[in-house]
Amino acid sequence: MAVSGRARIAAASVVSGVLVLASCGVFTDAPKTESARMLDTFAAALGAQDASRAAQLTSAPGQAAEQIGATLSGMHAATVSVKVTDPVEYSDHTATYNLTTRYDLGKDREYTTQTSGTARKLTSGWRVQWEPTLLASGMQAGGHLAAVRTDATPAPAVRDGANRPWMALQPVNDIVIDPSTTRDLPRTTSDLARVIAPIAPLITSRVISDRLAAAPGKPVTVVSLRDSDMTVLAGDPDRVAGVDVDKTSALLVTDRRITSPLTAGTTNYWQAIRDATAGWAVQMVAPNGATNRLAGAQGPASPDVRTTLNSGIQLSLVDSVVEVAQPATMMVLDARSGAILAAAANDAATSAGMSLTTSTTPGTTLDPVIAAIDSAAGGDRGAAEEQLHRLGLGVGYKIPGVSMPLSDNDTTASVSAASYNPSSLTVSPVSMGALGVAVARMSSVAPTFVRGVTTTVTGGDLGPVDAKVASAIAAAMRKTATSGDASDLTGAPGLRALVGTNGPQGPGWFVGIDGGKVLVVHCAGERSGTAALQVVQKYLRVR
């Protein structure tokens, strides 16, 4: 069949158009060039945060590994996404490309860099032409990127019940031994022990050696000192081989006399607030350490943490718990509100791991309480357990500023049985304090410490105490204080108390209501009941 010349031209145009479209990749994908494949491998290594692998694909592996590694370490990103775009390979065995790197910093925070670079075909194959600017525009040799936390200033203080500063962020000097920077480690430990002896005599060279042995080859912080402590040392720690003094800051008590187990929980609460309000920034760090902020956002300042601590009572408790050599803790609560006013522990209690929320057996201490509950419940186990909870016992307390989230045993003040079973009941200083408050006010409330922050109660409901139960317990407490085990105590007219032990090895307890305050003492070891009474008597003398 004959075809006109115009038709032949049109058909040729259609065929030509198809060929052009195919060459542009609409119908088929052109195979990647060697340089593009190498660049994809380089991007994958960066995305995997493998600095060594990425550096091996550059023209200067040593320099690249150092800067890439420093940046990946400094950014500490959850994930890194790297994309190569617009790769073009030229006939002179060079190539150009663009690189987009996204750092996922967590908490919906991210930072993205867009850079460009070149590649060359060397005898070893295609390699990225190493330039620090591949990591970020303006990057110098020896520099790196770093994502840092930012905190609003001034830092919140922790205040006592009278609104006076109890703890504040203060400068701290961390004395650190780095075993890799000294040739004679035994001499370093002995020299450092001598230097810090005036302020830390218990940290001997043997103690330092034991700490180093527990972390072989790693830097160890031997002691942290305030600026004022540094002035009384027997020398300059910086002059001891292998020792560095790192300047930092920490939340410290403003009055060193006010030591308390409450400081740990309060510091934990303060830190949680700081973490929640912290901001962030990405910095470019120059070789000399100078920084240039590239991105970020500052978090809001947080208010001071106000507690119910009574500093005067706290000082009295510190003096009281050292009256005995065996482990002893003491706590005082406000009998009307349940607020914790003070708490102290002697060194033996601290070494034994005794805390305000650790549960243990009450021994005979709660015999009058259980008897009153059983009498009122008349054999109804459900009613008995309800009364137990109404007295603040058999439930768990998580008290902001007191409880430490370390384990279930530390965050739960006491453990309730599945059903009423007095023989399995365990108590803590916190739950014994709640008992005293419940008897004093005829209704249980959860102990608190940070003002305006509620305590979480689990395992039962608090509330009004049955009048018959409260009356029976109060009568037993009066008898104990007037003619029973606590009758020798002086200086507390009108005292009501429960005293008991769990056999010769304790623990021993004292729970007392003294005017508007509830006193709780917990001792361990032999004659712990007598020891608890000694602590109380000392408190009544020095308060």
Q: How far apart are the first and last CA of the chain?
A: 122
DSSP string, 13-40: HHHHHHHHHHHTTSSSPPPPPHHHHHHH
Q: Is residue 421 part of a domain?
A: yes
In angstroms, the Cα distances linking 515 to 177, 494, 505, 511 are 53, 7, 31, 13
Q: Is residue 22 part of a domain?
A: no
What total number of domains does the chain contain? 3
Question: 211 and 73 in one domain?
Answer: no
Q: Could you tell me the two tokens for 217?
A: 């080859």
Q: Is residue 56 part of a domain?
A: yes
E-assigned strands of 132-178?
A: 144-150, 158-159, 165-177
Question: 459 and 403 in one domain?
Answer: yes
Give the dihedral sign, CA 454/455/459/463. Answer: negative
List the CATH number of the domain containing 76.
3.10.450.50
**402: how many CB neighbours lie within 10 A of its CB?**
29
Runs of H (alpha helix) within 287-413: 311-321, 347-351, 367-377, 381-390, 408-411
Q: Is residue 381 part of a domain?
A: yes
Q: Is residue 249 part of a domain?
A: yes
Q: Of 68, 146, 157, 518, which is closest to residue 338 (Cα–Cα)?
A: 518
Q: Of 510, 283, 468, 242, which is closest to residue 376 (Cα–Cα)?
A: 468
**426: how many CB neighbours lie within 10 A of its CB?**
18
Last residue of a domain, one of 233, 256, 279: 256
**7: how many CB neighbours lie within 10 A of its CB?**
10
Query: What pLDDT, on the 0 to 100 scale, is given for residue 28?
Result: 44
Question: 451 and 333 in one domain?
Answer: yes
Question: 247 and 335 in one domain?
Answer: no
E-assigned strands of 43-78?
A: none
Q: Could you tell me the two tokens for 459?
A: 């395992």
Q: Is residue 361 part of a domain?
A: yes
Query: What pLDDT, on the 0 to 100 scale, is given for residue 410?
Result: 39
Q: Do 422 and 370 form a contact (C-beta atoms < 8 A)?
A: yes
CA–CA distance, 459 with 443 (Å, rounded to integer): 17
Question: 137 and 59 in one domain?
Answer: yes
List the CATH number of the domain containing 425.
3.40.710.10
Query: What pLDDT, on the 0 to 100 scale, is given for residue 502?
Result: 83
pLDDT, tens digit, 9 for 90 and up, residues 434-475: 999 999 999 999 999 999 999 999 999 999 999 999 999 999
Burial of 419 (0-12, 13-18, 19+ CB in 10 A): exposed
Q: Which domain holds residue 373?
A: 311-542
Runs of H (alpha helix) within 396-505: 408-411, 429-441, 467-482
Q: Is residue 173 part of a domain?
A: yes
pLDDT, tens digit, 9 for 90 and up, residues 17-29: 333 333 333 444 5
Last residue of a domain, one of 221, 236, 256: 256
Question: 109 and 239 in one domain?
Answer: no
Q: Do 184 and 191 form a contact (C-beta atoms < 8 A)?
A: no
Q: Which residue has the tokens 């009356």?
A: 471
Parallel/antiparallel/unpaired status of strands 456-458 and 496-501: unpaired
Q: Is residue 21 part of a domain?
A: no
Query: What pLDDT, on the 0 to 100 scale, is given for residue 405?
Result: 53
Question: 455 and 375 in one domain?
Answer: yes
DSSP state of 492: -
Question: 445 and 355 in one domain?
Answer: yes
Q: Could you tell me the two tokens for 333?
A: 């609560």
For the chain, which ranges sit under pLDDT 70?
1-30, 404-419
Last residue of a domain, one of 256, 288, 319: 256
Question: 530 and 384 in one domain?
Answer: yes
Query: What pLDDT, on the 0 to 100 scale, is given for residue 483?
Result: 96
pLDDT, tens digit, 9 for 90 and up, residues 374-401: 999 998 999 999 999 999 999 999 999 9
CA–CA distance, 292 with 511 (Å, rounded to integer): 59
